[in-house]
Amino acid sequence: MRVAIIGGGPRGTSVIERLIARANDPNFALTRLARDDGHAPELHIDIFDPYPIGAGQVWRNDQSPWFINNTSARNNTLYTDAEVPLDGGPVVTGPSVAEWAEQIAPALPLADDPDFARELRDVSPWHKPSRRLQGEYFHWVFEQVRAQAPDWVHITTHRATVTDVRGTGIDPQVLTYLPTDADQTQTLLADVVVSAQGFVPDRLADDSVDGTALPARLAADLPLERIPAGASVAVSGLGATFFDFIGTFFEGRGGRFERDAEGTLIYHPSGREPRMFAGSRSGLPHRSQRLNGPDQYAAPSIPLFAPEATAALIEEHRNRHDLTFVDDLWPAFLAQAGTVFRTRAEHLGLDVDFEWERLVDPTLGRDFANADEWNAFIEEHFIREFISLSAPDASPWTGVHQLAGHLRALTERARIAGVFTSEAEQRYIERDLLPAANILASGPPSFRFERLAALRRQGFVQLIGPELRVRAEDDGYTAWSPRVAGSEVHAQYWLAGHQAWGTLSKTEDALLAGWLQRGEATLAPLGWPADARNVHSLAVTPQRLHPITEDGTVLTQRVVIGCVAGQYQPGAGQAAVPHSGGSFLAGTDIAAQVVWERLIDQPHAAENAGIAESNSLV
Ligand SMILES: Cc1cc2nc3c(=O)[nH]c(=O)nc-3n(C[C@H](O)[C@H](O)[C@H](O)COP(=O)(O)OP(=O)(O)OC[C@H]3O[C@@H](n4cnc5c(N)ncnc54)[C@H](O)[C@@H]3O)c2cc1C
């Protein structure tokens, strides 16, 4: 019996952990059989990724230390706990990233690297790890799990891209893959195929790559060193990738941030940095997380979000599928958010009123007569941000941000428990709540915001305005905001820092494109105009995550986990958070359970199929 896992990032790694957890648990009959009776079934696990297995593409360890994880070290794990809604797999506890970084990593060879050693010295539960340190954790988990595999389980790693998987019905699947060190594809037979591909990039427009326009890709994939000192750079997008650019161009090129006597952060240039002109749809970064402390807050005393109340609400509606977001949750949320906002504003003597739409989009369609007016608006917005960061428990804005994060967590748990009335309800959540909650509750870490504020004050970074446009010229680019009169700037380079992955209808991934083209996979129906949200999900069965073909057949030998089937796995784009009951580990446990059931039914299917296998690369 052979399972092929496509994608060696955290999810692919977790599927293997879930399989080995079963293989080592004496409560599993098959495990006893293997141990006691000698008639061991053989389980072959083949995992494919062109990037290092464990870390995968996002968390690979050859990237700049200035690219960081937005999630705190204590909120990141690959191990299960009692809150994970498992599909029969055992709970196996293990360290979070914070525990690993404090207790285990200092004794590993990676601690000999000066950058890692420095980071490990500073680590705390609230530390935002560099992506490469995070990748070392995932890799460590993979190695631990591999070492714990019993002798009837064989794990083979392939540094390779899977370009096709064919086969329907009960026949083994034929996998075609291209190893990174070869120019010929190879094939392998597998009884079950698990797609754990993460965010797959969209195809690039033909004209989007040349020497001066760097396409929308992970910052780690862009030749940022090509941009010379003093160059002018237009940046579209103010999300995580924009902050990666800032890290690379300023501290990454030798600049330093220091506080002056009044505590204000000052940037000391190295002379090697470019000048950045940046904008986005809203013209402002997402609201920042709080300064120097926990990025989660004490459980609110608000009844709707108290942990017992959330659990009781889910229990009350379990199996009845009659909870509505629009009637049961949203009005209660708005009423409570309004009360929190007004009470805190009154307490601080601030003359501001609660307007949900304005919190989510501070410019709210306003046009600006000139750059001075726009800059004055930013100043005011940044002052509010600093109040939120430095006094989060008193700030009216933070009070609402916190509640939006709690509402998102509550709806995710309720969706995983399947208690909402209908799919239409869930689409309302995806279309209206989640983007707003992401803006309010998933912004940059506070130190990244503070650095941006310093760089902007000192003229190294200019925010251009909302609805950013960029036009190619003979000698570079013009960037401007149609909502800020006179905002045009000329730049020599253009860096696309906006999201350009996850739109499956134009995916660059040959495997998924092939499935869609042949009708072996379909897109989940979107309940809203296609352009309202850029990301699509494959249609899969909600319980077992099997893809559904164009003619409605359920392909039981394939399982799709993570972002590619994100509509069925709330919160698919986020890490596994300890004790959150989130969908990440629930999904990987489903994939392992599908493999396990197949192993019980047909332990030798692929081996007996009589089709020659290629040699595996180990
Ligand atoms: C730039 C960026 C920053 C992020 N920052 C955060 C953050 O701060 N906090 C957070 O919680 N989450 C963050 N995320 C979300 C992140 O995707 C998840 O936390 C997590 O990595 C998802 O794990 P995964 O295994 O599902 O996907 P991934 O980590 O994306 O792994 C999928 C793997 O599949 C491989 N793959 C894809 N197609 C194929 C194929 N055809 N053949 C072989 N291999 C293939 C890829 O190379 C990749 O390594 C970020 C994502 C990105 C892109």
Q: Is the pLDDT of residue 561 over 80?
A: yes
Nearest to 442 by CA among 404, 399, 411, 414: 404
Most confident of the ranges 64-73, 320-329, 400-409:
64-73
Axis-axis angle for helices 307-317, 396-416 (nearest 10):
30
Cα-to-centroid distance, 198 and ligand 1 (Å): 4
Place of tokens 């909502």: 483
Q: Which residues share a beta bridge with 187?
A: 176
Cα-to-centroid distance, 582 and ligand 1 (Å): 17
Atom 52 in ligand 1: which residue has the minimum CA distance? 58
C-beta of residue 497 within 8 angstroms of C-beta of residue 218: no
> Would you list the DSSP string of 137-160?
HHHHHHHHHHHH--TTEEEEEE-E
The mean pLDDT of the chain is 88
Q: Is the pLDDT of residue 582 over 90?
A: no
| Residue 297 pLDDT class (50, 70, 90 cuts) | very low
For residue 613, the model assigns a pLDDT of 41
Q: What are 520's two structure tokens?
A: 């072996």
576 in contact with ligand 1, CB cutoff 6 A: no
Site to substitute for ligand 1 among 197, 559, 568, most atoms within 8 A of C-beta: 197
- Segment 80-102 mean pLDDT: 96
Nearest to 266 by CA among 455, 460, 66: 455
| Residue 434 pLDDT class (50, 70, 90 cuts) | confident
Cα-to-centroid distance, 9 and ligand 1 (Å): 6
Residue count of the chain:
618
For residue 294, the model assigns a pLDDT of 53
Give residue 116's identity as a one-letter amino acid code: F
| Residue 177 pLDDT class (50, 70, 90 cuts) | very high
Nearest to 287 by CA among 69, 446, 463: 446
Cα-to-centroid distance, 440 and ligand 1 (Å): 23
Alpha-carbon distance of 480 to 487, in angstroms, equals 5
Q: Is the pLDDT of residue 529 over 80?
A: no
Q: Is the pLDDT of residue 28 over 90?
A: no
199 in contact with ligand 1, CB cutoff 6 A: yes
What share of the chain has pLDDT > 90, as a percent? 60
What share of the chain has pLDDT > 70, as a percent? 90
pLDDT tens-digit series, residues 197-252: 998 888 876 555 566 777 888 899 899 999 999 999 999 999 999 999 999 999 99
For residue 605, the model assigns a pLDDT of 60
Q: What are 336's two structure tokens?
A: 């409570």
For residue 580, the model assigns a pLDDT of 85
Nearest to 561 by CA among 193, 202, 218: 193
For residue 290, the model assigns a pLDDT of 66
Q: What are 129's two structure tokens?
A: 């790890």
Axis-axis angle for helices 396-416, 434-441 (nearest 10):
140
Q: Which domains does the chain have, with CATH numbers?
A: 2-202+529-608 (3.50.50.60), 206-285+445-496 (3.50.50), 303-441 (no CATH)
Site to substitute for ligand 1 among 17, 58, 69, 590, most atoms within 8 A of C-beta: 58
Alpha-carbon distance of 387 to 451, in angstroms, equals 16
Q: What are 583's two structure tokens?
A: 């969908």
Alpha-carbon distance of 188 to 191, in angstroms, equals 10
| Residue 612 pLDDT class (50, 70, 90 cuts) | very low
57 in contact with ligand 1, CB cutoff 6 A: yes
For residue 574, the model assigns a pLDDT of 84
Instruction: Between 385 and 255, name the one with better pLDDT.
Output: 255
Q: What are 399's two structure tokens?
A: 């009070």
562 in contact with ligand 1, CB cutoff 6 A: yes
CA-to-CA dists, residue 56 to 2, 51, 149, 289, 327, angstroms: 22, 5, 21, 27, 42
Atom 19 in ligand 1: which residue has the minimum CA distance? 575
Instruction: Between 547 and 433, name the one with better pLDDT.
Output: 547
| Residue 532 pLDDT class (50, 70, 90 cuts) | very low
51 in contact with ligand 1, CB cutoff 6 A: yes
Distance from the first to the final alpha carbon of the chain? 18
- DSSP H or E run through 16: helix 10-23
For residue 260, the model assigns a pLDDT of 95
Q: Cite the beta strand spans of 83-150 per DSSP E.
A: none
Q: Is the pLDDT of residue 291 over 70?
A: no
Q: Is the pLDDT of residue 616 over 50?
A: no
Q: Is the pLDDT of residue 572 over 50?
A: yes
C-beta of residue 12 within 8 angstroms of C-beta of residue 56: yes
pLDDT tens-digit series, residues 437-463: 888 877 888 889 999 999 999 999 999
pLDDT tens-digit series, residues 113-150: 998 999 999 888 888 999 999 999 999 999 999 999 99
Alpha-carbon distance of 33 to 599, in angstroms, equals 12
Alpha-carbon distance of 582 to 586, in angstroms, equals 7
Choose the weakest-confidence range: 146-155, 189-198, 502-511, 554-563.
502-511
